[in-house]
Amino acid sequence: MIRRLAILATIFAALFSAVPAVAQQLPANLDKANALVIDTTKGRIVIKLRTDLAPQHAERLKQLAREGYYNNVPFHRVMDGFMAQTGDGQNFNGSGGSKYPNLKQEFSKVHFARGIVGMARRGDSVDTANSQFFIMFADGGSLDNQYTVVGEVVQGMDVVDKLKKAPPGSSSGTVTDPDKMVKVQVASDVK
């Protein structure tokens, strides 16, 4: 009987330690209708979407999250001290986008600081943001007024910091065997 109790105690302990991301409370005063909850292979990230700055881009991210487009999508480009990029649910390598048309830029005066979420785009064309986005590890003032700020991390920057990064000196920032966004949901949809 004592052995069974010990086994049950071990099982319960394992279950409770395996569920911290699911049981984790969302930040107080979070507008759940305008926030993304990203459960990754490293833990949970919560992003407050800036609908006041980029309403079209924020709506696109919510639409794709609700369609499951971002589930199991890798952080394909992660550059230590700069940013982590993800969001290619088509090709999973940074070359794809969603089935929806590209978005016109919604630049703002918000500075690209640590935790800011920006929309990735192709080359020099400012109106090519589609599904991919990036999270800043550090200050990135050179991106100001060049990319759309769509949100900011309000919980889980410690998780972002743990993402597998490209080797030092890698100019492309491509990650081998990258961490993934396992499940992405609009916060109001989280059960």
| CATH code assigned at 156 | 2.40.100.10
Residue 51 lies in a domain: yes
Identify the band that residue 5 occupies on the pLDDT scale cut at 50, 70 and 90.
very low
Residue 13 lies in a domain: no
Nearest in space to 52 (alpha carbons), one of 121, 110, 134, 104: 110
Tell me the pLDDT tens digit for each residue of 67-99.
Answer: 999 999 999 999 999 999 999 999 999 999 999
Under 8 Å CB-to-CB from 11, ≥6 apart: which residues? Answer: none
Residue 56 lies in a domain: yes
Q: Which amino acid is at 35?
A: A
Helix, strand, coil percentages for the chain (3-state, nearest 5):
25, 25, 50
pLDDT of 128 higher than 60: yes
Residue 19 lies in a domain: no
Nearest in space to 55 (alpha carbons), one of 108, 112, 113, 124: 108
Region 161-182: mean pLDDT is 95
- The torsion angles phi and psi of 30, rounded to 5 degrees, stand at -75, 130
* Percentage, residues of the chain above pLDDT 90: 83
The kind and range of the H/E element at 64 are helix 55-66
Tell me the pLDDT tens digit for each residue of 12-22.
Answer: 444 444 444 44
Tell me the pLDDT tens digit for each residue of 139-152.
Answer: 999 999 999 999 99
- pLDDT at position 184 is 98
pLDDT of 1 higher than 90: no
* Size (the chain), residues: 191
Q: Indicate the number of domains in the chain.
A: 1
- pLDDT at position 123 is 84
- pLDDT at position 15 is 40
Residue 9 lies in a domain: no
Residue 14 lies in a domain: no
Q: Which domain holds residue 135?
A: 29-189
* Neighbour tally for 183: CB within 10 Å: 17
Residue 144 lies in a domain: yes
Q: How far apart are CA 163 and CA 138, in angstroms?
A: 14
Identify the band that residue 169 occupies on the pLDDT scale cut at 50, 70 and 90.
confident
DSSP-derived secondary structure for 101-153: PPB-----S----TTEEEE---TT-TT-B-S-EEEESS--GGGTTTS-EEEEE
Residue 6 lies in a domain: no
